[in-house]
Amino acid sequence: MNTTDIERDFQKKVCEEVHLLPEGLARYVVDHPFTFDDGDHYIVVLRNVAGEWELSDEGHTIMHLSYEAIDLNISGYKEIISNTVSAFGLVNRAGELTLSIPEMRFGDALFSFIQALVKISDVKYLEWERVRSLFMEEFKGFLTEKVSERRRKFEYHHPQRDPRRIYPVDCCLETRTKPLFVFGITNDSKCQTATNIIYWWERQEEPFSVMAIHENMEEINSKILARFSDVCGKQFSNLPTNRDRITSFIEESLDGGG
């Protein structure tokens, strides 16, 4: 597969904004729209090593986290990184994260690699986890109150195509026409993760619609929110002041209007 075909596969499987920029021998910088909270892009390089293609962050992701005064030797941080590396099939080479391209599946590999980098960057939110969990408890409590158990599934995943639950939906509501995926958005990282998950579901070519409830929409980075808005049909800026509106939207969707 030549680089033109590789770039085309990247665009098909991830998004049209992905491009390959040659830099060195058998080495290409992958230009893409995904960023850390501060606006820096995740570094992704495609390179050929001993005849085998691989993706690498060249040590940038963990280095970026160290700039934020995060002690990555703390057990909670180490566990998140280790579990994510294992779940996505990455290799951690003394801080450099790499992923071998399986069976020339370049687009699938890039999608998984970026998703892994986003999840690893989530370690910075450990200190906020208690506050985040309170919002998600309220989110789940609200949906439990408004939708009967037989028509909702929390942490929904595709039973055949995602057995490892890498692309979970916070809550799937069974409407009369097509599933309504509901996401609780707590911060920039969750917003990017939800965007990637929706991209993956779009690739499955099965009908669904998307709704999001933000903890505080005003705190989401504008560029990250713009990309999310491209794939999310309906958003609510927060839960407390929109309970009636959300209830009406859900009821209409369940009856077949969504």
pLDDT digits (tens, 9 = 90+) for 165-221: 889 999 999 999 999 999 999 999 899 999 999 999 999 999 999 999 999 999 999
- For the segment 236-244, the average pLDDT, to the nearest whole number, is 96
**185 forms bridges with which residues in the sheet?**
214
pLDDT digits (tens, 9 = 90+) for 52-67: 999 999 999 999 988 8
Asked if 123 and 78 count as a contact pair (C-beta separation under 8 A), the reply is no
**Is the pLDDT at 128 greater than 60, yes or no?**
no
Please say whether the beta carbons of 78 and 114 come within 8 A: no
Are the CB atoms for 38 and 124 separated by under 8 Å? Answer: no
Q: State mean pLDDT over 79-91.
A: 91
pLDDT (0 to 100) of residue 134:
79
Residue pointed to by tokens 């713009």 = 226
User: In what helix (H) or strand (E) does residue 92 lie, and over which residues does it extend?
Assistant: strand 91-93
Q: What DSSP element (H or E) covers 25? A: none
Percent of the chain with pLDDT over 70: 92
Angle between helices 3-13 and 106-121 (to 10 degrees): 50
Q: Can you give the pLDDT at residue 93?
A: 95
In angstroms, the CA 223 to CA 229 distance is 10
User: By mean pLDDT, which of 36-40, 148-152, 190-194, 195-199 is the weakest?
Assistant: 36-40
- Residue 80, helix vs strand vs coil: helix
pLDDT(257) > 70: no
- pLDDT above 90 for 22: yes
Task: Using the structure block, give the residue that is written with the tokens 């990309």.
Answer: 227
Q: Which amino acid is at 9?
A: D
Confidence of residue 38 (pLDDT cuts 50, 70, 90): confident
97 close to 56: Cβ distance less than 8 angstroms: yes
The answer to whether the beta carbons of residues 235 and 212 sit under 8 Å apart is: yes
In angstroms, the CA 206 to CA 194 distance is 17
